[in-house]
């Protein structure tokens, strides 16, 4: 009987792994198709990749984050391949690895294989991941930041707040110091890749601290101390001295709020970027937030602070900047129950009017109002994505009422 169960489990494992590999392959093929289409190459041309590498190595604020550029240089030296080709392969590969880590974390946190697969698909086809290398998203250090932070969470014990429900996985009896140190190193590398990861600390605290044992709290403290230590040592080793000539870069950051809302095109692009990044994940997460009160508080704090920082000190059209607080949401979305039987069409004049307005408003916004401020709307597929995104959200809101409501 045990041999039969083992064979069944092995078969399910192979099936689930194959589905995950297929999902990543579909995403990679979509990425390849998009960047091989004339006019939509984005950052994947030789000239753009070369310019990106030079830019991140010369500008002091980016040169202090040498991990991606250093990895490209090392791999280029080992393989003999041109640096631009290495960068074009490295970052998509890191995103695929991050998708595998999200799948693994979702399973570890208690999701079934279907939920874990759906949460991974939602991540891969989210706006800032699908268009990661399309201007003005300009993804560079984020893939390494995400992979190392997810690896850190993989080394941490399963959050005890997720073990409180019936049928949950058994509690971890102890928290090994070696894993705490390894998690700290991975987290420190993530912060070194992009120090904005510090804004994830409220989310991490809200997820891992509630109901944690004393031993787990000590381990988590060790992890955070090691992470901050790695960040400090890294910045001391590589952070270039700031000269008076570089101060304009920091002063210019504080003029971005006005720049992000300078006219109708920029204002619409900023608000649409926030909508495309946050709307679907937060809608899907809503049913889980009531059970995770401290996580909700941490997430709200991180979202509010991060959004204000981006609006005041960055170019909001680089919509990937709004996505940072969502990093730990993707595995959590695997805990939802995705069942079409939970939907029921209950026609109502008011609901139907809202649906029509939602669909019509989305189409009007995407094709008559929205205008990319980098290039033209034909240089990317943002309008098409916005159309599908808004219409699918409108239909979800219309059909998502419980059957017994």
* Predicted local distance difference test score (pLDDT) of residue 146: 98
The per-residue pLDDT for range 363-398, each reduced to its tens digit, is 999 999 999 999 888 889 999 999 999 999 998 888
The tokens of 127 are what?
């706006």
**In this prediction, what percent of the chain has a pLDDT beyond 90?**
65
The tokens of 125 are what?
């086809």
pLDDT above 80: residue 403 = no
The per-residue pLDDT for range 298-321, each reduced to its tens digit, is 999 999 999 999 999 999 999 999
The per-residue pLDDT for range 61-108, each reduced to its tens digit, is 888 899 999 999 999 999 999 999 999 999 999 999 999 999 999 999
The owner of tokens 């010369």 is: 58
**In this prediction, what percent of the chain has a pLDDT beyond 70?**
86
Q: Mean of the per-residue pLDDT values for the chain?
A: 87
pLDDT band at 340 (very low <50, low <70, confident <90, very high): low
Of 15-19, 157-161, 360-364, the poorest mean pLDDT is in 15-19
The per-residue pLDDT for range 244-291, each reduced to its tens digit, is 545 555 556 667 889 999 999 999 999 999 999 999 999 999 888 877
Q: Round to whole Å and give the CA distance between 298 and 303.
A: 9
pLDDT above 80: residue 208 = yes
* Helices within 80-162 (DSSP H only): 83-108, 113-124, 127-130, 142-155
* Predicted local distance difference test score (pLDDT) of residue 16: 73
* Full-model pTM: 0.91
Tell whether omega for the bond before 136 is within 30 degrees of 0, i.e. cis. Answer: yes
Provide mean pLDDT across the span 324-348: 82
The tokens of 279 are what?
């709307």
Q: Round to whole Å and give the CA distance between 338 and 331.
A: 14
* Predicted local distance difference test score (pLDDT) of residue 212: 86
pLDDT above 50: residue 43 = yes
DSSP label at residue 333? G
Q: Where are the beta strands (DSSP E) in 267-336?
A: none
Q: Round to whole Å and give the CA distance between 280 and 197.
A: 22
Provide mean pLDDT across the span 227-251: 73
* Predicted local distance difference test score (pLDDT) of residue 1: 46
User: Which residue from 203, 220, 224 is spatially nearest to 298, judged by alpha carbons?
Assistant: 203
pLDDT above 60: residue 2 = no
């Amino acid at each position: 009987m045990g041999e039969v169960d083992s064979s069944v489990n092995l078969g399910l494992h192979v099936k689930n792994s194959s589905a995950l590999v297929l999902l990543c392959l579909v995403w990679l093929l979509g990425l390849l198709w998009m960047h091989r289409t004339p006019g939509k190459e984005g950052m994947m041309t030789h000239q753009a990749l070369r310019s990106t590498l030079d830019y991140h190595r010369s500008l002091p604020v980016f040169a202090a984050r040498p991990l991606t550029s250093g990895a490209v240089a090392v791999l280029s030296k080992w393989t003999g391949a041109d640096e631009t080709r290495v960068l074009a392969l490295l970052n998509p590969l890191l995103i695929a690895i991050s998708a595998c880590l999200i799948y693994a974390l979702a399973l570890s946190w208690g999701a079934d294989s279907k939920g874990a697969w759906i949460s991974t698909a939602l991540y891969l086809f989210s706006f800032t991941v699908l268009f990661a290398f399309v201007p003005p998203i300009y993804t560079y250090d984020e893939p390494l930041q995400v992979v190392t932070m997810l690896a850190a969470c993989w080394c941490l014990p399963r959050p005890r707040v997720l073990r409180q429900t019936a049928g949950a996985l058994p509690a971890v009896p102890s928290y090994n110091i070696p894993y705490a140190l390894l998690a700290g190193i991975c987290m420190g590398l993530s912060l070194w890749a992009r120090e904005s990861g510090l804004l994830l600390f409220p989310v991490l605290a809200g997820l891992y601290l509630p109901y944690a044992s004393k031993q787990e709290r000590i381990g988590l403290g060790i992890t955070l101390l090691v992470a901050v230590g790695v960040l400090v040592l890294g910045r001391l080793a590589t952070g270039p001295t700031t000269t008076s000539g570089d101060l304009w870069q920091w002063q210019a950051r504080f003029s971005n709020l006005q720049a992000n809302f300078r006219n109708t095109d920029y204002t619409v692009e900023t608000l649409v970027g926030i909508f495309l990044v946050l709307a679907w994940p937060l809608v899907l997460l809503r049913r889980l937030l009531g059970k995770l009160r401290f996580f909700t508080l941490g997430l709200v704090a991180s979202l509010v602070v991060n959004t204000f920082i981006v609006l005041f000190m960055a170019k909001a059209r680089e919509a990937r900047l709004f996505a940072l607080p969502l990093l730990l949401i993707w595995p959590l979305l695997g805990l939802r129950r995705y069942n079409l039987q939970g939907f029921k069409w209950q026609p109502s004049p008011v609901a139907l009017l809202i649906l029509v307005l939602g669909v019509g408003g989305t189409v009007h916004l995407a094709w008559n109002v929205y205008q990319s401020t980098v290039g033209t709307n034909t240089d990317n597929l943002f309008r098409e994505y916005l159309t599908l995104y808004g219409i699918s959200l409108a239909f979800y809101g219309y059909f998502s009422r419980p059957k017994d409501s």
